[in-house]
C-alpha cells in the first residue's frame, strides 16, 4: 500500500476561495468516480463549489460511455464542481481543454473537442457533465444556471496500452521527468477556475485563438462518425469543428460525434 501523496489542498484552497466563495478541496483515497460522486452529492442537494481528488477510481468514466482507467500514483484524477450560468454552453469543454493545456505548458496539443495529446498519443481526457440546480440559485439565473462537473484525468507516469488501444497513452513525465500528481493539480486548479468563470461571462470566443494554436486536427483529413470525410479547418466562435467536405463546409458541434484523423 502506497503512503498518501502530499496533496497541496490548503494552497489550492487559499488561491481559489477568493474567486469562488464556499469552495472546498477534498482528497479521497478511493471512489468509484469523482464525476459520479459530485453528481450523487448534487442529487442530495449539495451544490457547493468543490474540488474532489481521488487517488484511485474504481469506475472512472470517459466520454461516450467509455471507461477511464488509471492507477494510484501514476495519474491525476479529479473533478471540479461549481454552478455556472453562461449565456450558452457550447464550447465549454474546449475552453477547459485550452485552460489545462496552457497551465501545463508547451508541447501539448488539443484534439477536438477536448483531448490533450503529446506526439500523437493521448495525455489527458476531460468529461464535462451538467445538471440543473434549483433552490440555491436566484430566480433570475435559475433557467440558465447548472451545476457543472468538470472531470479531468491526466496520465502522469507511463502505462501500457489497454487491450482496446493500439498504442500506449502519453504521460506528463515525458515532458517533465519530475512530474507528480499533486504539483500538477496545483498548477491547473486556479487557471481552470478562471477559465470557467471567463467562459460563463464571455463564452468560448476568447479561447478560440488559444485553441487554434494547439489544434492538432487543422489541415488533417478527418472521418466523421457518419463516415463523411473531409479536412479539418479549425473551430468557430462557438467551438464547433469546421470540416471541408465534398458537400461543402460542415459544422460539427456535437461532442457525441467522433472525429479521427483519416488513416
Residues of this chain that interact with ligand BTN (CB under 6 A) are 33-35, 57, 60-63, 66, 68, 77-79, 115, 125-127, 151-153
What residue is closest to ligand BTN based on CB? 125
Q: Is 63 a catalytic residue?
A: yes
Complex with ligand BTN: residue 152 or 241, whichever CB lies closer:
152
Complex with ligand BTN: residue 62 or 234, whichever CB lies closer:
62
Q: How far is the CB of 246 from ligand BTN (least distance, A)?
A: 30
The Cα–Cα gap between 47 and 141 comes to 15
Q: How far is the CB of 32 from ligand BTN (least distance, A)?
A: 8
Q: Whose CA is closest to 181, among 71, 61, 39, 68?
A: 71
43-77 in b/e burial notation, b at 16+ Cβ within 10 A? eeeebbbbbbbbbbbeebbbbeeeebbbebeebbb
Complex with ligand BTN: residue 9 or 233, whichever CB lies closer:
9
Active-site residue among 63, 111, 146, 214?
63
Active-site residue among 56, 121, 122, 187?
122
Q: How far is the CB of 51 from ligand BTN (least distance, A)?
A: 11
Does residue 197 contact residue 19 with C-beta atoms inside 8 Å?
yes
Complex with ligand BTN: residue 67 or 219, whichever CB lies closer:
67
Q: Whose CA is closest to 56, among 90, 33, 23?
A: 33
Complex with ligand BTN: residue 124 or 240, whichever CB lies closer:
124
Does residue 179 contact residue 64 with C-beta atoms inside 8 Å?
no
Q: How far is the CB of 49 from ligand BTN (least distance, A)?
A: 16
Q: How far is the CB of 248 from ligand BTN (least distance, A)?
A: 30
Q: Is 260 a catalytic residue?
A: yes
Which residues are CB-contacts of 119 (< 8 A; sequence separation ≥ 6)?
A: 170, 174
Q: How far is the CB of 121 from ligand BTN (least distance, A)?
A: 13
Complex with ligand BTN: residue 124 or 233, whichever CB lies closer:
124
Q: Is 214 a catalytic residue?
A: no
Query: Which residues are identified as catalytic?
Result: 63, 122, 260
Amino acid at each position: 500500500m502506497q503512503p498518501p501523496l502530499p496533496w497541496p489542498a490548503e494552497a489550492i484552497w487559499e488561491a481559489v476561495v477568493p474567486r469562488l466563495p464556499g469552495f472546498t478541496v477534498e482528497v479521497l483515497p478511493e471512489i468509484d468516480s469523482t464525476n459520479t460522486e459530485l453528481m450523487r452529492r448534487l442529487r442530495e442537494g449539495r451544490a457547493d463549489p468543490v474540488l474532489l481528488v481521488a487517488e484511485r477510481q474504481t469506475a472512472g468514466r470517459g466520454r461516450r460511455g467509455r471507461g477511464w482507467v488509471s492507477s494510484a500514483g501514476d495519474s491525476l484524477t479529479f473533478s471540479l464542481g461549481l454552478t455556472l450560468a453562461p449565456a450558452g454552453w457550447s464550447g465549454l469543454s474546449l475552453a477547459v481543454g485550452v485552460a489545462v493545456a496552457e497551465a501545463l505548458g508547451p508541447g501539448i496539443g488539443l484534439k477536438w473537442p477536448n483531448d490533450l495529446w503529446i506526439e500523437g498519443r493521448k495525455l489527458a481526457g476531460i468529461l464535462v457533465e451538467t445538471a440543473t440546480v434549483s433552490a440555491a440559485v436566484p430566480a433570475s439565473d435559475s433557467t440558465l444556471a447548472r451545476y457543472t462537473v468538470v472531470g479531468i484525468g491526466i496520465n502522469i507516469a507511463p502505462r501500457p496500452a489497454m487491450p482496446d488501444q493500439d498504442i500506449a497513452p502519453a504521460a506528463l513525465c515525458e515532458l517533465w521527468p519530475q512530474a507528480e500528481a499533486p504539483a500538477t493539480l496545483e498548477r491547473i486548479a486556479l487557471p481552470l477556475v478562471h477559465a470557467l468563470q471567463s467562459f460563463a461571462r464571455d463564452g468560448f470566443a476568447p479561447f478560440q485563438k488559444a485553441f487554434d494554436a494547439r489544434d492538432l486536427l487543422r489541415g488533417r483529413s478527418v472521418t466523421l462518425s457518419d463516415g463523411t470525410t473531409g479536412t479539418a479547418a479549425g473551430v468557430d466562435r462557438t467551438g464547433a469543428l469546421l470540416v471541408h467536405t465534398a458537400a461543402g463546409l460542415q459544422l460539427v458541434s456535437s461532442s457525441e460525434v467522433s472525429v479521427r484523423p483519416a488513416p
